[in-house]
Chains A and B, each alone.
Chain A
Amino acid sequence: MNTTVSEAPVSTWQARRWPQEREARIPAWIYSDPLLFQREMEVFHHGPTWNFVGLECEVPAAGAYKRSWVGTKSVLMVRDEEGGIQVLENRCAHRGAPICWENKGVVKDFTCPYHHWNYDLCGNLQGLPFLRGAMGKGGMPRDFRKDQHGLRRLRVATRRGLVWATFGDATPDLESYMGEEILALLDRTLGSGRLRLLGYNRQLLPCNWKLYLENSRDPYHATLLHSFFLTFGLLRTDTAFRAVPTLGGRHAIMASTYSAATAGTQNEVTKQLASLKTDFVLQDMDVVKPVDEFGDSSMINFSVLPSVFFQQHGNSLAIRHIIPKSESSTELSWTHYGFAEDDPAMHERRIKQANLMGPAGYVAVDDSEVLAQMQPVAESAPDSVQVVEMGGRDVAAQETMVTEALIRGFYAYYREKMGL
């Protein structure tokens, strides 16, 4: 058969079939295919979804900017002259060079380092060198219109101090995209919206972004892998728990009840767990003693498709930004925050309890280590399938930690959007 060099590479994923058990199985080939990864970026991150970009307090005054990511695209979150927030693609409209090479800063306007095309804070092209040429030679055509060559502007929505952006023209408004349940949790977790930035933790995970997303929707592993959680009663299988997929599995909620009474004690359930170490005590217990700041004795963690996980572990509040880099590499960027009205004790508590999370976290190290182990196995066995049947085969909400309903929910949604 004749083939030409111009022929597009054969995509393997389009020839694949999802196992007949539907979302109760996950085929390993979805973690290792670069063409599937490109399609995922089009469908989710660069498509009609709302992506977390940053906190409003990170760009306090006109000209303040922060570099962030929407999927694999670099974007700039910037405060404009009118006090609004713009999110601009960090790509010069001329030749595609990134116009901004720093993570944060304050500018009057943006100038691309390559040919000095200059843009205002809203991304409008203000000028370019030699528009009319030099010494009567060169220059742009007479009909070149600057107003048609600005930076790509994303649609922006803000709510309670958070900034969201979308590349999609057809993306529904933020409220509809989130849905009632997630909106209520956003409002709970972000309180007054007067957020205080505590800092960042960043790590590069050698795994597909979906492995992290699944991990953040998997309460089943939490009390098994993370014996630190269990030992100190921060999260246990014998406390009230709700696992709720929302909007057909687009988002997911994990709500647990914290009980000081059950911390470090055993019962029939915990006796089954070999990893419960009742003789392990901390010398400084503050790190595992949360204050009930939301007044509902609950720890509620939730995952918002496609790119963000809201963490409430004790008083350690963070937004985990899941930034896909390739089919086998994912940046995990943690933005820890508190509130402007936090007293010094609460501020200290948040910093102290942050020891549980991040690349060196008492709890979080377990996850990054396990996921790093999983990726090469998935790549070596693309035809293998994972079994996801804990708590049944459907995607209904459940009142137990011992369930994989949230992972199934995600894949029900994923398959629909990807046509798989």
Chain B
Amino acid sequence: MSRQDSGADAPTRAQLRDFYDDYALALDDGDLDRWTTFFTDDCLYRVVSRENFQEGLPLCTMECRGIAMVRDRVAALRETTVFEPRTLRRMVSCLRVNEGGQGASSQANFALYESMSDRETHLLLVGRYLDRVVRQGGELKFRERVCVYDNYRIRTSLVYPV
């Protein structure tokens, strides 16, 4: 990573806020193809429990190493997964831009609400995004997005990405 990423070319807080909102909207709209465009080719995408994360355990609930696995996640979801229809909505708040280190790191809280086809909405997941965002060809991309969820248990299934 060059110094540029953390220097003059680093995304501003306002740019990051827009980027985070775009990401959430793409997923809330169910646009999984667009979801894959938020990542760099060498990305790391993880959804991990706070329990594993705090203990430094490597197991994730979802893990994509590289864009190929991000696309595979979408393909498997479309082609083979059997699940009850649902709508998810993401609330993203408390964006924080961390200074220093290699590249810009940022974080935000998320709440993920799940509405099943014939039942009331419930809170599915709460946690925080721990991210490394880089600028690539003028666009912001996640080189790393680690979604650490606070829940001890996941309610039934986690079908869609966080």
Chain A positions within 8 Å of B, measured between CB atoms, are: 103-104, 197-206, 225-228, 231, 275, 277, 280, 282-284, 287, 331, 336, 347, 351-352, 354-355, 358-360, 362, 365-366, 368-370, 372-373
Q: Are A369 and B82 in contact (CB under 8 A)?
A: yes
What B residues does A283 contact at CB under 8 A? 68-69, 71-72
What B residues does A366 contact at CB under 8 A? 81-83
* A interface majority secondary structure: mixed
**B113 vs chain A, min Cβ distance (A):** 17
Contact with A along B40-83 (1 / 0, CB 8 A): 00000001010110010111111101101101110110011111
Q: Are A198 and B59 in contact (CB under 8 A)?
A: yes
For A369, give its contact among B63, B72, B156 (CB under 8 Å): B156
Which residue of B has the minimal Cβ distance to A199?
Answer: B59
Which residue of A has the minimal Cβ distance to B158?
Answer: A360
**B145 vs chain A, min Cβ distance (A):** 15
Q: Are B159 and A365 in contact (CB under 8 A)?
A: yes
* Interface flag for B84 (CB, 8 Å): yes
What A residues does B61 contact at CB under 8 A? 201, 358-360
Given contacts A284-B68, A354-B63, contact A198 B57 (CB under 8 A): yes
Which residue of B has the minimal Cβ distance to A370?
Answer: B82
Chain B positions within 8 Å of A, measured between CB atoms, are: 47, 49, 51-52, 55, 57-63, 65-66, 68-69, 71-73, 75-76, 79-84, 152-159
For A336, give its contact among B59, B66, B68, B82 (CB under 8 Å): B59
* Cα(A280)–Cα(B75), bound, Å: 8
For A198, give its contact among B51, B58, B153, B159 (CB under 8 Å): B58
Given contacts A283-B69, A360-B159, A368-B156, contact A197 B84 (CB under 8 A): no
For B157, give its contact among A198, A282, A287, A359 (CB under 8 Å): A359
Which residue of B has the minimal Cβ distance to A201?
Answer: B61
What A residues does B49 contact at CB under 8 A? 199-202
Q: Are A197 and B80 in contact (CB under 8 A)?
A: no
Given contacts A360-B159, A362-B76, A369-B157, contact A351 B68 (CB under 8 A): no
* Cα(A193)–Cα(B65), bound, Å: 29
Q: Are B72 and A282 in contact (CB under 8 A)?
A: yes
What B residues does A369 contact at CB under 8 A? 82-84, 156-157, 159
Which residue of B has the minimal Cβ distance to A225?
Answer: B82
Q: Are A197 and B57 in contact (CB under 8 A)?
A: yes
* Cα(A225)–Cα(B47), bound, Å: 25
Q: Are A282 and B59 in contact (CB under 8 A)?
A: no
Q: Are B57 and A227 in contact (CB under 8 A)?
A: no
Q: Are A359 and B154 in contact (CB under 8 A)?
A: yes
**B48 vs chain A, min Cβ distance (A):** 8
**A336 vs chain B, min Cβ distance (A):** 5
Q: Are A360 and B47 in contact (CB under 8 A)?
A: yes
What B residues does A231 contact at CB under 8 A? 79-80
What B residues does A277 contact at CB under 8 A? 79-80
* Cα(A168)–Cα(B73), bound, Å: 45
**A396 vs chain B, min Cβ distance (A):** 31
Q: Which of B52, B76, B152 counts the most A-chain CB atoms under 10 A from its CB?
A: B76
